[in-house]
Structures are given as structure tokens and as C-alpha cells.
Amino acid sequence: MALMLVKFDLKKRVKLAQTVWFMYWFAVMAGVLVFSMGLFFKIELRKRSELMDNNESHILPNLLIFMGLIACGINAFGGKVCYDSLDPTKFVKWKPMLKTFLVFCVVFNALLIVTALMCFVMKIPLQFTLSEGLKNGMRYYKDTDTPGRCYMKRTLDLMQMEFRCCGNDHYRDWFEIQWVSNRYLDFSAKEVKDRLGSNVDGQYLMDGVPFSCCNPSSPRPCIQMQMTNNSAHYSYDHYTEELNVWKRGCREALLSYYGGMMNTIGALVFLITLLEVAVTVGLQYVDTSLSTLANPEDPESESEGWILEKTVKETFTDIMAKMKATGKGGKVEEGGEEGVATVS
């Protein structure tokens, strides 16, 4: 018994072909959308590539770009097949390759589902990538004269202002590194000597943050230096005072931005997968309805269409039987070759 058997006459077959043809071209536009989302995501990642610890984060946008291009190709081909199915003389040339094409479509749909799932799963490695990348970026913030790192200060400052964040996990992360270049330090000054001698690494550490951490909405002028020294500022207590620097860490801010983008892309890819499944089913009905004409010489004769010629269980059993037969055939051939070698 065929799965989801439907009877067709000429009018229904024409309507089916026209509907699937329209859906295929809509799917072509969906493929362009997947390609565009992958390209946009890749550009957004490249903007802050200096803050990424590795290049693994580009796997997802590259996959989206690839899947978008493949979707455009197979959907354009499917649309052409549906258009030619209205003319039996034109449809004959596509008939031998349709089963292979339909199998390829099923595999492509499965890959689309995997791509959608990756949009949600890849947020986990992205979190660690951002954490390590931001730590390195903050460490190189002061190296404005070092080739390859001279733009790190600008990148970090622009990012902290754009995403309203400060440090990696917290603004206090800046207290743990030297972010002022030695060229701007007066090594003869007592304060500089004291700070350099206050830690084993000989770094100029201070309780301050870059200007880009300042919150412009604060009514009080930004206190970005000596933030833990209450006596350095009038009417100030860093334990109770509402600080006028951003409190949210940049790792959380970037993860929220990229995570939201990935969730949106994943949801859209799932919806596009449903469309791809629909057009694959539609093409299967077009193929089977034209293959089962009661009178092939009469285009107006009735026919039947289905998704599977047998039930799901029977189809699965047949596939397993064919795989076992193929495996046994391979073993027999190997045994035959060994026998020939022994005789010779």
C-alpha cells in the first residue's frame, strides 16, 4: 500500500505542477536569503575577528553560504522540471534522473536541519572563543606601536562604546592588566615606580579603565581613574556609588548580540527546511502521477501519485535488504578474487 496515495486527472496534474513550480521559485529566493544571512554573519564576525581566539567561528557562516548556493541551484532545477512536466515530450528527458535528484533533495534537507541545529549549538564554543579573544585583546590594548596589534586599542574602544560594555566579564578586568603603554609613563616618578614594584610581573597596574568604558548618560563626570580611592573624588564611595562606567562585560554583550543573530538565523533555516521538504514532496507527486498514467498515450487519463510506493516500514525493510545483499555481493567478489589468486 502506497504512502499518502492521491488520484489525479489532467486538471489536477496541471494544477499540481504549477503550484510546485511556483513554490520552487519561492524556494530559490529562500536560498538567496540563506546565502545573504551567511554572508552578513561572516561580515559581522570579521569586523571583530581580532577579538576571536580562532577561526572555527567562521564554520557556520561558510556553511550557510554554501547551503544557500546549493539551494538556489537545486530549486532552479526543480522549477525547470515542474515547468517541463506540463509538456510530456519535454518531461521525458528529465525522467531518468529524477529519482537521483529526489534522493539528493532528501540529503540536502537533512543537511539543512543540521545547519539549523548548528546555529543554536555553536553558541557554546563561541562563548569560549570570545572569552580568550577578549583577554588577548585587552592584553594588547597598549601595543599601539607593535605591527599587527596597532589597531587593537581602536577596535576595543569602538566595541566598548558600541555594545556599552567594559572589560571581559567585568570592568575590574582592566585592573588586572597594564593597558597604558610604557612610552607614556614617567619612570622617574615615585608613583610609577611604586606601581611597577607592586606586582611580580613589573606591570603598571591601576584601578582605572579606558575612556570607552564611560557611560555618557551618567549625570556625573566620568570617574575612570582611581575608581577604588574614595578620597580622590568628592562625595564618592565606590562601594555604594552608582558607577558611571558600563558594568556589563563585553563577552556577555557580544555573546548576546551574536547569539540573538544565530537564534534568528536558525529559526529561519528551520522554516526554509519546511519549504524545501514541501517542494520535494510536491516533485515526488509530479513524478509518480506522470509515471502511472492509465494510458500513457492519452495525457488526459487518470493516474496515481504517492510519497512512498510502500509503507515506511516496508520501504525501510527493502532498503536494509538491498544493503545486506550489496554487502554479501562484495564479500563473494572478494572471495572469488582470492580463489583466482590461489589457483594462479
pLDDT of 56-69, one tens digit each? Answer: 778 899 999 999 99
pLDDT higher than 60, residue 336: no
**Domain tally for the chain?**
2
Go through 212-238 and write b for each residue having 16 or more CB atoms within 10 A of its CB, e for each that does not.
bbbeeeeeeeebbeebeeeeebeebee
Computed over every residue of the chain, the mean pLDDT equals: 85
- 106 occurs within a structural domain: yes
Whether pTM > 0.85 for this model: the answer is no
- Asked whether residue 203 falls in the same domain as residue 283, the answer is no
- Asked whether residue 240 falls in the same domain as residue 257, the answer is no
pLDDT of 133-159, one tens digit each? Answer: 999 999 999 988 888 788 899 999 999
Give the number of other CB atoms < 10 A from CB of residue 251. Answer: 25
Q: For residue 264, what pLDDT is reported?
A: 95
Are the CB atoms for 82 and 20 separated by under 8 Å?
yes
- Asked whether residue 66 falls in the same domain as residue 209, the answer is no
The amino acid at 111: L
Confidence of residue 40 (pLDDT cuts 50, 70, 90): very high
Phi, psi of 9 (to 5 degrees): -115, -175
Contacts within 8 Å (CB) and 24+ apart, 110-114: 111/67, 112/67, 112/71, 112/269, 112/272, 112/273, 112/276, 113/270, 113/273
What CA–CA distance (Å, rounded) separates 309 from 111?
A: 24
- 217 occurs within a structural domain: yes
Q: What DSSP element (H or E) covers 184?
A: none
Confidence of residue 96 (pLDDT cuts 50, 70, 90): confident
Are the CB atoms for 146 and 183 separated by under 8 Å?
no
Q: What percent of the chain has pLDDT over 70?
A: 87
- 320 occurs within a structural domain: no
- Asked whether residue 192 falls in the same domain as residue 217, the answer is yes
What CA–CA distance (Å, rounded) separates 279 from 78?
A: 8
C-alpha cell at 152: 587593537
Q: For residue 223, what pLDDT is reported?
A: 87
What CA–CA distance (Å, rounded) separates 82 from 286?
A: 7
- Asked whether residue 99 falls in the same domain as residue 213, the answer is no
- Asked whether residue 204 falls in the same domain as residue 284, the answer is no
pLDDT higher than 70, residue 170: yes
- Asked whether residue 14 falls in the same domain as residue 67, the answer is yes
3-state SS, residue 134: helix
What CA–CA distance (Å, rounded) separates 141 from 157?
A: 9
- Asked whether residue 183 falls in the same domain as residue 265, the answer is no
Q: Which range is most confident: 6-15, 68-77, 126-135?
A: 68-77
- 21 occurs within a structural domain: yes
Are the CB atoms for 20 and 282 separated by under 8 Å?
yes
What CA–CA distance (Å, rounded) separates 236 from 225?
A: 13
Q: For residue 315, what pLDDT is reported?
A: 62
30 is in which domain, residue-wise?
A: 6-138+252-296
pLDDT of 261-304, one tens digit each? Answer: 999 999 999 999 999 999 999 998 888 888 877 676 777 777 77
- 258 occurs within a structural domain: yes
Of 196-210, 231-245, 259-273, 310-324, the least confident = 310-324
